[in-house]
């Protein structure tokens, strides 16, 4: 076992259960696709997916998210070359999971005519198209994730309980903050499945909307750095250039969002 393989396994589990949940809830003629299912079912399912992914990648510390890896890199808690291995593993695991989801739901693609539903199995999309607000939503959601992960880390739980707490955090973020963009809060949760949607021969799939793909990548990366930096400032009284850069970026995007939506 090594860090790359550990992250690949953990991210594979995350995307397999998460995108599998999306497929079950949205594709036509799936027994999971019932009118009684709601947003809360999806957020709970993704919370479970994260929990299982964390359990599966204990060897490497269970990042399963480049935003986590880059955030910890900014605070010196992981070396650059190791961070690179983590991200490669995360991308590999995510793509393999998407291929398996495609194969598993093979007969459902052709009977599902809505192209947005098919894309939604793999990737997120905003409820309202508002570039800077969408970017800010991803930033704030991932800030909350990383800040939460750091303060969860200073508490003592019974052995093996931490992944459940992390899953509960992701579930809470989804319920409270996820309604704007679908809360990718993880670049490989959106970008790699979106690429899989682009390259796989999915029946009647339509546009992969790659022009939106930078938002759930950049927002989480900056939000992750901000979350770690704010934690270090508040709890350890340390600050560095990453705090000022990420905070400045957040203030800039917030200003652009206000201007964009001013009526």
Considering the entire predicted model, what is its pTM?
0.90
Per-residue pLDDT at 121? 92
At 21 the pLDDT is 78
Closest C-alpha to 2, from 60, 51, 44? 60
pLDDT recorded at residue 33: 57
What is d(CA 232, CA 13) in angstroms, rounded to the nearest whole number? 30
What pLDDT was estimated at residue 46? 86
CATH 3.40.50.2300 fits 3-260, yes or no: no
pLDDT at 32: 56
Alpha-carbon dihedral of residues 77, 68, 148, 185, nearest 10 degrees?
Answer: 170
Structural domain spans, the chain = 3-260
- Residue by residue, pLDDT tens for the chain (263 residues) are 788 888 888 888 888 878 877 887 778 766 555 555 566 778 888 888 999 898 999 888 889 999 999 999 999 999 999 999 999 999 999 999 999 999 999 999 999 999 999 999 999 999 889 999 999 999 999 999 999 898 887 666 566 788 888 999 998 888 888 888 989 999 999 999 999 999 999 999 999 999 999 999 999 999 999 999 999 999 888 889 999 999 999 999 999 999 999 86
Rounded CA Rg of the chain? 18
pLDDT of 41:
78
């Amino acid at each position: 076992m090594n860090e790359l393989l550990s992250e690949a396994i953990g991210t594979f589990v995350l995307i397999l259960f998460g995108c599998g949940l999306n497929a079950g809830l949205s594709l036509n003629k799936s027994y999971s696709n019932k009118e009684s299912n709601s947003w809360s079912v999806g957020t709970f399912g993704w919370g479970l997916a994260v929990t299982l992914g964390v359990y599966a990648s204990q060897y490497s510390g269970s990042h399963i998210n480049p935003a986590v890896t880059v955030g910890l890199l900014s605070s010196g808690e992981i070396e650059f070359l190791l961070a690179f291995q983590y991200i490669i593993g995360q991308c590999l695991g995510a793509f393999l999971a998407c291929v398996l989801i495609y194969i598993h739901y093979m007969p459902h693609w052709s009977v599902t005519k809505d192209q947005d539903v098919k894309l939604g199995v793999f990737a997120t999309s905003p409820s309202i198209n508002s570039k800077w607000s969408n970017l800010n939503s991803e930033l704030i959601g991932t800030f909350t994730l990383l800040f939460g992960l750091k303060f969860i880390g200073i508490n003592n739980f019974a052995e093996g309980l931490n992944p459940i707490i992390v899953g509960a955090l992701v579930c809470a973020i989804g319920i409270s903050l996820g309604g704007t963009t679908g809360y990718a809060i993880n670049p490989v949760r959106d970008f790699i499945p979106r690429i899989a949607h682009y390259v796989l021969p999915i029946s009647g799939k339509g546009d992969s909307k790659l022009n939106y793909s930078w938002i759930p990548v950049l927002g989480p990366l900056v939000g992750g750095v901000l979350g770690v930096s704010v934690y270090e400032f508040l709890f350890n009284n340390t600050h560095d250039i990453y705090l000022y850069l990420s905070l400045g970026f957040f203030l800039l995007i917030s200003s652009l969002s206000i201007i964009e939506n001013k009526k």
